[in-house]
Structure 1
Amino acid sequence: MLTLQMIRIMNKIWVQEGLDMRMVIFRCFSTGRGRGMVEMIPNAETLRKIQVEHGVTGSFKDRPLADWLQKHNPEEDEYEKAVENFIYSCAGCCVATYVLGICDRHNDNIMLKTTGHMFHIDFGRFLGHAQMFGNIKRDRAPFVFTSDMAYVINGGDKPSSRFHDFVDLCCQAYNLIRKHTHLFLNLLGLMLSCGIPELSDLEDLKYVYDALRPQDSDADATTYFTRLIESSLGSVATKLNFFIHNLAQMKFTGSDARPTKTPSRRPTYVVKVQRESPGEVAFVQRTFEEFQELHNKLRLLFPSSLLP
């Protein structure tokens, strides 16, 4: 909730300055320790599921994201709009995740909408508290920006003017947030006594201070963030992290992660059916479309009841 609130404030600052970063900020509400509700974002998929359509090594390839967006936006003007949404939202995600030190960034924690909007989920680790493999940080790059993202922005594997626009957009967004360094430090400072393990002392606040570099001029900060983009793009560790996560998910689900011949995978749900008479229990398999048909008929039969 705290991380999403900080990102929401960043977005308000950008919008007030006339910069719409096309951010997707879902709602999240805590109802108790380890319990709560999270808003579902429709028409979105994790980067892992998009990448493994090109095989288990899809995270090392440059085309998966562009091909997926092309598939969902077949018309030229639709695709151009999706790419524009991708450029803005990707830039916003790069700045927000860097400033807040959001870690545990793998391809199941980053999602993409069919409209091109990219967004992050799962903020269990932030302010630079990365997961470790022994003495090695799992998150090695400043933020997640990979060659398949650059491929979407460039419209191919060669640099284009749109990539320079993307870098300028990142730096502009970064400098706007830097002007409000004290706001973010004060808001996070109010949460020091709330029992969040990653936000418990002044060293955690210093992480945000160091990330925002308030002592730098805008020109110096622009140069600094441009180098961060280059560093992230050149990081092999991010793609390797994605690949390891692909393998782990294969082992967990028993999937061979090979692309299917069908246009899309339709999930089937196992439903437990318990009858009042003669009290027998059965398990049936139903598709999402069948669930929806049942839901529509129940609403017709029981118009006064508020079905979930």
Structure 2
Amino acid sequence: MAKTSETIASIQLNSSNVAVAAAFSKDVLLNWLNGYNSGDDQAIEEFTVSCASYCLVSYVLGIGDRNSDNIMVKKMGQLFHIDFGHILGNFKSKFGIKREQVPFILTYDFIHVIQQGKTVNRKVWSFLPQHGNLFITLFALMLTAGFPELTSVKDIQYPKDSLALGKSEEEALKQFKQKFDEALRESCTTKVNWMVHTVLKDYGS
């Protein structure tokens, strides 16, 4: 059966064998999607909505290890994450350096794809905070499930802070917008991390 999705790393490396060029080209992802969809707006919309959902959910859950081998895109446009070994802000380090320094992954090549669309569905940005107490209750119920990074009540503080519980809807939206701006501003840092990941993988690290 033909593969219906590819990792970001694979998409980039198939466009160039040079790690730097592969990681920093903003057109690679859009060209890949257009190659399977002939410029179909539906694929762009699918990417836009799934990317927005991914940004919000990965921020609230504090998903770590967000390298280019753990983020995949379906040929029809949906973006998704495949490794949930590190959550609630337990981000990995390499040589004592924190590898992930952004609240969520939002790179300029993602934005480049999104900008091709006619509309942007913004409802996703307010959905989770409106249902914050329900999500915290669900986290509390999972305390006995045996997850190594969710063992005590203090571990639930991370999603509480991410959801801005106790703040007004306006304050919560302002907090998330600040995180959005930070993720986009530090896009180059994400790209450097991805490039280093690719190089180290090639050397068997």
Query: Among the aligned pairs, what percent are the same residue?
Result: 35
The change in CA–CA distance for 1:41 and 1:204 in structure 2 (over 3 A counts) is farther
Residue 98 (str. 1) matches residue 59 (str. 2): yes
Cα offset, 1:223, TM superposition: 2.1
Aligned to 2:198: 246
Q: What code does the residue aligned with 1:222 have?
A: L
RMSD across aligned positions (CA): 2.1
The change in CA–CA distance for 1:113 and 1:94 in structure 2 (over 3 A counts) is same
Cα offset, 1:161, TM superposition: 7.6
The gaps in structure 2 that reach 5 residues or longer are: none
Separation in 2, partners of 1:113, 1:48 = 13
User: Is the CA contact (8 Å cut-off) linking 2:54 and 2:80 kept in structure 1?
Assistant: yes
Aligned to 1:227: 178
Q: Secondary structure at the match of 1:128?
A: coil
Residue 191 (str. 1) matches residue 142 (str. 2): yes
Separation in 2, partners of 1:42, 1:117 = 14
Aligned to 1:129: 90
Written as runs of structure 1 = structure 2, the 5 A alignment for 1:23-172 is 42-55=3-16, 56-57=19-20, 58-74=22-38, 76=39, 78=40, 80-155=41-116, 165=120, 169=122, 172=123
User: Is the CA contact (8 Å cut-off) linking 2:5 and 2:72 kept in structure 1?
Assistant: yes
The change in CA–CA distance for 1:245 and 1:89 in structure 2 (over 3 A counts) is same
Q: Secondary structure at the match of 2:104?
A: coil
Cα offset, 1:189, TM superposition: 1.1
Separation in 2, partners of 1:134, 1:110 = 23
The gaps in structure 1 that reach 5 residues or longer are: 1-39, 254-308
Deviations 1:167-200 (A, max 9, x none): xx1xx32322112222111211122223321001
Match of 2:130 among 179, 191, 194: 179
Q: Secondary structure at the match of 1:192?
A: helix
TM-score in terms of structure 2 length: 0.90
Separation in 2, partners of 1:98, 1:175 = 13
Cα offset, 1:41, TM superposition: 10
Q: Secondary structure at the match of 1:111?
A: strand
The change in CA–CA distance for 1:231 and 1:41 in structure 2 (over 3 A counts) is farther
User: Is the CA contact (8 Å cut-off) linking 1:53 and 1:64 kept in structure 2?
Assistant: no
The change in CA–CA distance for 1:232 and 1:44 in structure 2 (over 3 A counts) is same
Cα offset, 1:218, TM superposition: 1.9
TM-score in terms of structure 1 length: 0.61
Separation in 2, partners of 1:250, 1:182 = 44
Q: Secondary structure at the match of 1:191?
A: helix
Name the larger-Rg structure: 1
Equivalent residues, number: 201
Query: Which structure would you say has the larger RCO, counting Cα contacts within 8 Å and 6 or more residues apart?
Result: 2
The structure with the largest strand share of the pair is 1
Cα offset, 1:136, TM superposition: 3.0
Match of 2:153 among 202, 207, 214: 202
